Structures are given as C-alpha cells and as structure tokens.
Structure 1
Amino acid sequence: MPVAILPDISEQHCIGCALCVEICTALGPDVLRVKPVEGWKRGKAFVFYPERCISDGACIGVCPTKAIFWMRPMDYTPGQPIPLKKHGLFVKGWEEG
C-alpha cells in the first residue's frame, strides 16, 4: 500500500464550505470533494483522490474552522477515498475521540 503526505480532515470540525475543494481544484491537483453526511445540509470535505495530492497544504490555509489541521503520512489505496475522522480531536495529532 502506498504512503503519501495527505490532508487530515476532521468531520466534526468541517462545516462543508468547500473552500478547500475550490483551492485544490484551482491549483490543479483536484484531490478533495464534499460528500453528503447524514444530518448536515452542506456535506463534509474528504480526500477523494489521494494519489493526486502534491502535499502543498493549500487546503489547510483556507479552512475557516481548522478542520484540516495538518498534512501527515497516510497509507492509501489508489482510487479509494480516505475516510473522514468521525470524532477527531487534535492532541499531538488527530485522535479518534
């Protein structure tokens, strides 16, 4: 399984504004998407194409809620989205709460 430096997104903190998707698409990698989440009108951002990420961190800079706090090495399967963290808490890295 390949490893890449990918954005780590907390579902709990994401408000579905899609600013991260817009900047990522505008810069070229086109890594992120917003998907529907039960009970939430706008959905949540997630890494849809992990193999395209260039690890520039542009998505981190535009996130108004800091739902994308950092880039970290993650295992991924090409063509498979990275799941959202359901109850992410940032304490020396994202931990499932």
Structure 2
Amino acid sequence: MPIAILPDVDEQRCIGCALCVEICTALGPDVLRVKPVEGWKRGKAFVFYPERCISDGACLGVCPTHAIFWMRPLEYTAGQPVPLHKNGVFDKGWEEG
C-alpha cells in the first residue's frame, strides 16, 4: 500500500480563485477541481484525483489565502477511491460537479 502526503483545501479559506487548479493542471498532475458551493458564486477548490498528486507543493505556493495545506500521510490502494479529509473527518470523496 503506497503512503501519500496529499494536499487538502480548507473550504472556509478558499475564495474560489482557481489558481491552484490552473497551476496543477499546467504542471501535469491535474489533481484539483472546483466544485459548486451553495451561496458562493465562484465555487471552491477540492482534491479530486489525489492519486495523481506528486507532492510538489505548487498549489500551496499560489494560494493567496493559504487555504491549501498538507494532509498527514495516508495509506491508500492504487486504483481505489482515496478517503479525503474534510473538516477533521475522513469522507469517501467528492463527486465532480
């Protein structure tokens, strides 16, 4: 089972600028997406393909509100859904919106 240190997004701090999504996509890993959030015009960033993360930290560096942080090491099985950390609770993931 590989061990990963993955980015996570603090939804309260995220302003929906999508700079993290743009740089991640431009550099190749394509880990992040923006999901619609009720009452928020631009949506919020979230980790959609955690297994693609190369842990380069580019997304952390471009976030103007420091909403992205490293999550503790997480064991996962390649090709299986990765539980994501949200508000202190592990979820089974998000559906792409």
TM interval, shorter chain, is 0.7 to 0.9
1:2-61, Cα deviation, whole Å (9 max, x unpaired): 541111210000001000000000000000000001111111101100110000000000
Task: Could you tell me which runs of 5 or more consecutive residues in structure 2 were left unpaired when the two chains were aligned.
Answer: 90-97
Taking structure 2 as the reference length, what is the TM-score of the superposition?
0.75
Task: Could you tell me which runs of 5 or more consecutive residues in structure 1 were left unpaired when the two chains were aligned.
Answer: 87-94
- Report the CA distance shift for 1:22/1:29 in structure 2 as closer, same or farther (over 3 A): same
- Considering only aligned residues, what root-mean-square deviation do their CA atoms show, in Å? 2.3
**1:68 paired residue number:** 68
Tell me, yes or no, if the aligned pair for 1:50 and 1:79 is still in contact at 8 Å: no
* Higher relative strand content: 1
Give percent identity, aligned residues only: 80
Alignment coverage as a number of residue pairs: 88
**Amino acid paired to 1:85:** K
Taking structure 1 as the reference length, what is the TM-score of the superposition?
0.75
**Amino acid paired to 1:68:** I
